[in-house]
Amino acid sequence: MVTEEQLPYLLKLLDDEEPAIQSALQHEFAETNGDLSHEIAALAIDLPVRDRMKLSHLLLPGRRETLEHEWQVPHGGADALAEDWDTFESLLRLVSDFLHDGVTLRPSLPDMIDMLAMEAADEIENLSANQLRLWMFESGKFIGNRENYYIPQNNDLCWVADTGFGSPISLATLFILVAHRLELEVSGCNYPGHFLARIHIDGKALLVDCFHRGRLIPVHELLSNNKNISQTAKIAILTECHLGHMLSRILRNLEHSFRKDKQMGEALLFRKLHDSLQ
């Protein structure tokens, strides 16, 4: 285990190309939990970008082991997570921690959601699910990451909360989690190919396209104006997507992102995590 006393000396060796040195560093950093951000911040060490990237790579085995070791799915898999908000958020935190570089300091996922919820409560008058939609999405605070749609970071809710960019499901999930903190009713819609959120205004169900600035889609109009809609899409529109199935879709997205980037080790890891929900 790397100690705070050892860390400055190990970091000085990052630029040493000697194979024996690199092998020793790989061994030392693999023995950590994969995150040294607090230790680096405490030592006030400012690493160059190249060293941060190298260190993050050396810490990756530790992050992988931490994720696999702490990944505990309730008996019953995804269905058992239907209303288990605590476990759902805990598993999302593990995913975010793995996707983080382990070098730069940032708040945990629960803290980020807390901060967003407090900010929303302070700034929104007449708080409601629709007003939260306006504050998060129509304002442009959070938008779809069109230019880098397939990057794994789009599924890191901490990264999404920090940058304001995300995928359809990560933006919707953040919306749902913030709403839950504020005791507002927002749920998911597992629409094929494009995840949506669901709210009610004046008793009418509307879908929210978080990726496109939170545009509203009335459920009755979507069903009545689209005669060729598939049965799968119709079921998704009429049925609330519970938390376990949201997590399953996020894990599938991550497997696809890593496969697309030819990072097969990570792709297989997220396939394994997805299968644990079955």
- Of 137, 102, 105, 135, nearest to 119 (Cα)? 135
| Residue where a domain terminates, one of 70, 103, 127 | 70
pLDDT at 226: 74
Range(s) of the domain holding residue 237: 76-277
Q: Which two tokens stand for residue 140?
A: 């442009």
Residues 112 and 215 grouped into a single domain:
yes
50 and 148 both lie in a single domain: no
Strands 204-209 and 196-201: antiparallel
Whether the predicted pLDDT of 225 surpasses 90: no
Same domain, 117 and 10: no
Interhelix angle 19-30/49-70, rounded to 10 degrees, is: 40
Assess whether 127 and 208 both reside in one domain.
yes
Range 78-92 average pLDDT:
96
pTM > 0.85: yes
The answer on 104 and 27 residing in a single domain is no
According to the 3-state scheme, what is the secondary structure of the chain? CCCCCCHHHHHHCCCCCCHHHHHHHHHHHHCCCCCCHHHHHHCCCCCCHHHHHHHHHHHHHHHHHHHHHHCCCCCCHHHHHCCCHHHHHHHHHHHHHHHCCCCCCCCCHHHHHHHHHHHHHHHCCCCCHHHHHHHHHHCCCCEECCCCCCCHHHHCHHHHHHHCEECHHHHHHHHHHHHHHCCCCCEEECCCCCCEEEEEECCEEEEEEHHHCCEEEEHHHHHHCCCCCCHHHHHHHHCCECHHHHHHHHHHHHHHHHHHCCCHHHHHHHHHHHHCCC
Mean pLDDT of 47-70: 96
State the average pLDDT over residues 232-244: 94
Distance CA 237, CA 194 (A): 12
Do residues 47 and 81 share a domain?
no
pLDDT of 220 reads 86
Please compute the mean of the pLDDT values over residues 66-75 and round it to a whole number: 96
User: What pLDDT sits at residue 98?
Assistant: 98
Between 222 and 212, the higher pLDDT residue = 212
Same domain, 148 and 262: yes
Q: Looking at 70, 100, 120, which one is the last position of a domain?
A: 70
Give yes or no: residues 140 and 63 share one domain: no
pLDDT at 259 over 90: yes
- Percent of all residues in the chain with a pLDDT value above 70, rounded to a whole number: 100
Residues 65 and 202 placed together within one structural domain of the fold: no
On the question of pLDDT at 271 being above 80, the answer is: yes
Domain final residue pick, 39, 70, 101: 70
The pLDDT score that the predictor gives to residue 237 is 93
Asked if 51 and 122 sit in the same domain, the reply is no
Asked whether residue 231 falls in the same domain as residue 101, the answer is: yes
Segment 253-261 shows an average pLDDT of 97
pLDDT in tens, 160-204: 999 999 999 999 999 999 999 999 999 999 999 999 999 999 999
The pLDDT, as a whole number, for residue 76 is 94
Number of domains in the chain: 2
Are 80 and 66 within one domain? no
Pairing mode, strands 143-144 and 165-166: parallel
